[in-house]
Amino acid sequence: MNHARMLGRFLLVGTLLALVAGLGASPQAAGQQVPQTRPSGTSGSSAPLASGRPAAPRAPAWVPLPPQHAKFLDDVLRYWQQHTSKIERFRCRFKRWEFDSTFGPGQNTAKTYAEGEIQYAAPDKGLFKADVYKVFVRDKEHPEGHYVDRPPRADHWICDGKSIFKFDYVEKQLTEQVLPPEYRGRAITRGPLPFLFGADAEDIKRRYWMRIITPPEKTKGEDREYWIEAIPKTQEDAADYRVIHIMIDGKDFLPNRMDLYGRVAGNKQVYVFEKRDVNFSVLAEKLNIFHRQFYEPKLPGSEWKKVVYGAEQAQRPR
């Protein structure tokens, strides 16, 4: 797996992008309507080559944006950058629904459901851990289908700024992907969820074609939001996703939802971010515990093994 996809999957984790104990696994049981936003078109997608690698992405039909629209987008990105540049610590809970048109249970039924936590410490440390993981199954007792727990398959990733660590609880393997010099210090923002952790607005514009797609009912009032559609410009960013929708809360100007549309039509991941907390104040000893989570993890047990990738590439000069 190349560095870009490794970084992207760290941020999305099995994945960018939670919850109250006792909520059900399905969107309806969780008491929350899953966003049903769809990509406005496929002109920005890239068709796979015979080798399986995506072709170079093409600009969507709405490029270039009208001047007034482009200015408003720039204002939103600039304000977002100013706001997130002040974030030193961030944590939230997440919910994630994964839809699979090929192997899933149906177009409007999630194949898997997960809840967990995301943590971030500036400038390049992050944690993504699913503590609830369910899959949709049909059996004799539940022919209509239901969600069952699969805790061993839960996602758990850590980035300490120098390496990305992934826990595989099924194989009992801890994988370390050593980051090459050019990714150190900015691995967090190079994944497909730059809006979650903060990134340079100009860098995002270089990587994505973007436009505002906020529905009219979300443009005013206390529930105001800013919806952004982002289409990757490079093969690196388009490796897994052809369109990304980011929904930014107008009150704290942090993402509260994110829809990631896969390269196969009908495949989608929906993230909901809750209990977002920024620069929280804690006692010194508790703050140390918070930062300690980003240090190189130890093997959970004697039966576990560790595999390291990328160590040779990491030795090359910056």
Give residue for tokens 């482009």: 70
When mean pLDDT is compared over 81-90, 194-203, 285-294, the highest value belongs to 81-90
At 225-266, the pLDDT tens digits run 999 999 999 888 888 789 999 999 999 888 999 999 998 888
Residue 254 located in a structural domain: no
Q: What is the CATH number of the domain that holds 185?
A: 2.50.20
Residue 33 located in a structural domain: no
Residue 229 located in a structural domain: no
Q: Residue 24: which of 110, 121, 143, 90 has the closest Cα?
A: 110
> Considering the entire predicted model, what is its pTM?
0.80
Q: 225: Cβ–Cβ under 8 A, 6 or more apart, which residues?
A: 214, 218, 247, 248, 249, 250, 256
Helix residue ranges per DSSP H, the chain: 3-12, 67-84, 194-197, 201-207, 284-292, 311-314
Domain that residue 132 falls in: 3-19+91-206+265-314
Residue 125 located in a structural domain: yes
Q: What is the per-residue pLDDT for 13? A: 36
Residue 26 located in a structural domain: no
The number of distinct structural domains making up the chain is 1
Residue 50 located in a structural domain: no
Residue 220 located in a structural domain: no
Residue 212 located in a structural domain: no
Residue 36 pLDDT > 60: no
Do the Cβ atoms of 118 and 271 come closer than 8 Å?
no
Residue 132 pLDDT > 80: yes
The region, left, alpha or beta by phi > 0 then psi within -120 to 50, assigned to residue 271 is beta
Average pLDDT, the chain: 78
